[in-house]
Structure 1
Amino acid sequence: MIETWRWYGDLDAISLAEIAQTGARGIVTALHEVPYGEVWPSHTIAERKARIIDAGFSWEVVESLPVHERIKKGDGDLSQLFANYRQSLANLAGQGVKTVCYNFMPLLDWTRTDLTAPVAGGATCLRFEAVRMAAFEIHMLGRQVAENDYSADVVVQAGVWFQQATQANRDTLLAAIMAGLPGAFDRYDVNGLRDALTQYDGIDRAGLRANYKRFLDEVIPTAEELGMRLCVHPDDPPRDILGLPRIVSNGDDLDWVLGAYDSPANGITLCSGSLGANPQNDVPAIAARVADRIHFAHLRNVHKDPDGSFEEAAHLDGDTDMVALIAVLLAEQKRRLAAGREDVLIPFRPDHGHHMLSDHERDLIPGYPLIGRLRGLAELRGVIQGLSHG
């Protein structure tokens, strides 16, 4: 497996020189400064790649080449947006960057309600709290229908939280929900988010799937011609949220994605944390089910609560059997080697991590600390070496 590290370029307080000390040798990055839907210029890709190579790394994976919201909504004439996406793929391929991660989550990317939840020993983590999310949906956004998406007990507790919350508490909650990923150009206040949600009125699960299949039909043939691998990231959290359908949340969804355009160029980013947040998902079993189309892996873990809450766990703790999952990925690499495939080694990165030690003293991207991810990488490296021995 190829050890990689997510780096946000000039938006990242962590330098390539620091990343070099982690032992990772591949970089996962994107042109976060380019607005969604615009072409990634060849010269900008080349400049980014040169920086990476000069620092002693390879650019292993693009994460992400964003899909414009209009494509997700199937909104109007999309020919220029599809052409731009295909051109960006061609420009990346021209620089030898062949693996592209993306997602098809409507409006918001990953969603958390707390960016600094305390964990034992003084570290902090990302957390999704069902009560606070229900309070946000029902009382701050005014989506009374959201009461149907939560248990009766959570709805009652959400009302209590909202009544007791100060304006500062509510502002902090909104900021956490809006945090998403750097490079997302839309940051909404409550009224702005309420208006944005109306743009998805009438788009249900079937409608979003139809728009996704159209995207695949438009871009996968180009990826095939260029020898590229596209790999969709699962929904995070893996459930409908804010009334928006989510369609990449479990094994059946992944089967649908792979069948919607049956091609080696149409693959999966296996994110153990996103899939692991759904109590119905057996992550190692899902990985085995789609193993031949896993082009990239995010390895992280979560602790789940019965009410639908979850938080980031240490990489070898949590509810997912990380050793069993890595064993699936290593077995798939052996199968690919025996089959003579070129893409034998699966790039992976330690995803998210606890903010700990000197991470607290720096202005780091939520979920992407230096020390916390270094700990995760060291633990994952140990598992890989142990399973590979002999």
Structure 2
Amino acid sequence: MKMTFRWYGRGNDTVLLDQVKQIPGVKGIVWGLHQKRVGDVWEKDEIKSEISYIESFGFHADVVESVNVHESIKLGNEEREKYIENYKQSIRNLGEFGVKVICYNFMAIFDWTRSDLFRALPDGSTALFYEKDIVENRDPQELIQTFSSYSDMTLPGWEPEKIGRIKELFKAYKDMTEDDLWENLRYFLNEILPVAEEVGIKMAIHPDDPPWSIFGLPRIMTGRESLVKLLAISDSPSNGITFCTGSLGANPHNDMVTLAAEFVRHSPFAHIRNVKIFENGDFIETSHLTSDGSIDIKGVVRELSEIDYDGYVRPDHGRHIWGEKCRPGYGLYDRALGIMHLLGLWDAFQTVKKEEN
């Protein structure tokens, strides 16, 4: 299990890499060119500059999150060929500099969606919160204001150029079904996977967050059936999953331990985090401790240990603790605590395995 830490780049993150260096066990930085417009080619000089900076702190830069997919590709419209070719070139350029995994998603219009970025928890910390009634009964434009007015730092999936086209995009998706979106994902993968395989990169699709339809938009990466369907599109070794316990786990019908046992072999990259699910469908993000949420984090790590998982792992969204002012969900302190908890579980399970053998 290779521990990593997601970082949003120079001038775009409150966390500094010399701080991350002080977290025991972190070997790599999960990065991206977050100031790039979605659909543009990631140029070699940009990639080299970011990787060189990351490596100067002693980290590897094997994992990119994310090379976002342009809406034209998801819609399957007449512009998709141009953006697919751009995507292929970005894959080639990243492969040239040793990138091993690209995380991406295929969510229509919106990326991860919450109703409150700083909801108070009983311990005095705050966390990302999803209130079902608000999301289901409010104009999406109101939630957009919550995200777009947050700060001058980028929030992935909520890029300014996309926010300015919301009405246009909703009109474009008006008649799209889940089957249509699946077909457009299949087309995209059949185009890019040969390129990814050629340069030794694994593509790892991220589940929808939350894993159900919002605002009437189709969502397709939601549970076991969709993971099976994704893998059936291609048996290429470059066709993989980002196993995210918090995204899939927001639906209580998704047993994350069972899914881990079946799918982590197909997952070169994993996000491990916990959420507390309420009976009315609301959920809030918590510490990584199993007892604080609704997901058996301990059981998930046990499954990883059982197969001696050698993929990349990172703690996912953390709480905002100890007065830290940070990007929503991506502060330093709680993610550092999460890393130590996950590594502690891993060490314990690995030790037991060795003693039993």
Q: Give TM-score scaled by structure 1 length.
A: 0.84
1:168-194, CA deviations, whole angstroms, 9 ceiling, x for partnerless residues?
Answer: xx6xx44335575277233537xx534
1:272 aligns with 2:245: yes
Residue aligned with 1:220, SS? helix
Match of 1:384 in 2: 346
Contact 1:111 1:177 in 2 (8 A): no
Give the counterpart letter for 1:236 in structure 2: D
Contact 1:99 1:231 in 2 (8 A): yes
Tell me how far apart the structure 2 counterparts of residues 358 and 25 of structure 1 sit (CA, whole Å).
27
Contact 1:89 1:223 in 2 (8 A): yes
Tell me how far apart the structure 2 counterparts of residues 183 and 313 of structure 1 sit (CA, whole Å).
23
Q: Aligned Cα RMSD in Å? A: 1.7
Tell me how far apart the structure 2 counterparts of residues 78 and 18 of structure 1 sit (CA, whole Å).
40
State the 1:120 CA deviation: 1.9
Which of 305, 313, 317 is the matching residue for 1:348? 313
Give the counterpart letter for 1:349 in structure 2: R
Which of 176, 195, 202 is the matching residue for 2:146? 176
Tell me how far apart the structure 2 counterparts of residues 327 and 175 of structure 1 sit (CA, whole Å).
41
Residue aligned with 2:63, SS? strand
1:195-232, CA deviations, whole angstroms, 9 ceiling, x for partnerless residues?
Answer: 42111011100000000000001100111111110000
Which of 54, 57, 64 is the matching residue for 1:52? 54
Structure 2 unmatched runs, 5+: none
1:2 aligns with 2:6: no
Match of 2:43 in 1: 41
Which of 194, 198, 206 is the matching residue for 1:225? 198
1:367 aligns with 2:332: no
Tell me how far apart the structure 1 counterparts of residues 312 and 163 of structure 2 sit (CA, whole Å).
34
Contact 2:3 2:314 in 1 (8 A): yes
Mark the CA change 1:67 to 1:182 in structure 2 (over 3 Å): closer, same or farther: closer
Tell me how far apart the structure 2 counterparts of residues 129 and 7 of structure 1 sit (CA, whole Å).
27
Tell me how far apart the structure 2 counterparts of residues 260 and 39 of structure 1 sit (CA, whole Å).
25
Structure 1 unmatched runs, 5+: 142-169, 334-343
Which of 299, 324, 336 is the matching residue for 1:324? 299
Matches within 5 A, 1:97-246: 97-137=99-139, 173-176=143-146, 180-181=155-156, 184-186=159-161, 188=163, 193-246=166-219
1:298 aligns with 2:268: no
Contact 2:62 2:98 in 1 (8 A): no
Contact 2:274 2:294 in 1 (8 A): yes
Name segments (4+ residues, structure 1) moved above 6 Å.
none
Which of 81, 84, 97 is the matching residue for 1:82? 84
Tell me how far apart the structure 2 counterparts of residues 281 and 232 of structure 1 sit (CA, whole Å).
17
Tell me how far apart the structure 1 counterparts of residues 54 and 158 of structure 2 sit (CA, whole Å).
19
State the 1:275 CA deviation: 0.6
Tell me how far apart the structure 2 counterparts of residues 376 and 124 of structure 1 sit (CA, whole Å).
15
Residue aligned with 2:259, SS? helix
Give the counterpart letter for 1:385 in structure 2: D
Matches within 5 A, 1:23-38: 23=24, 24-38=26-40
- Identity, % of aligned positions: 38
- In the alignment of these two chains, the number of paired residues is 343
Q: Which has the higher helix share?
A: 1
Mark the CA change 1:239 to 1:18 in structure 2 (over 3 Å): closer, same or farther: same
Residue aligned with 2:5, SS? strand
Tell me how far apart the structure 2 counterparts of residues 177 and 17 of structure 1 sit (CA, whole Å).
28
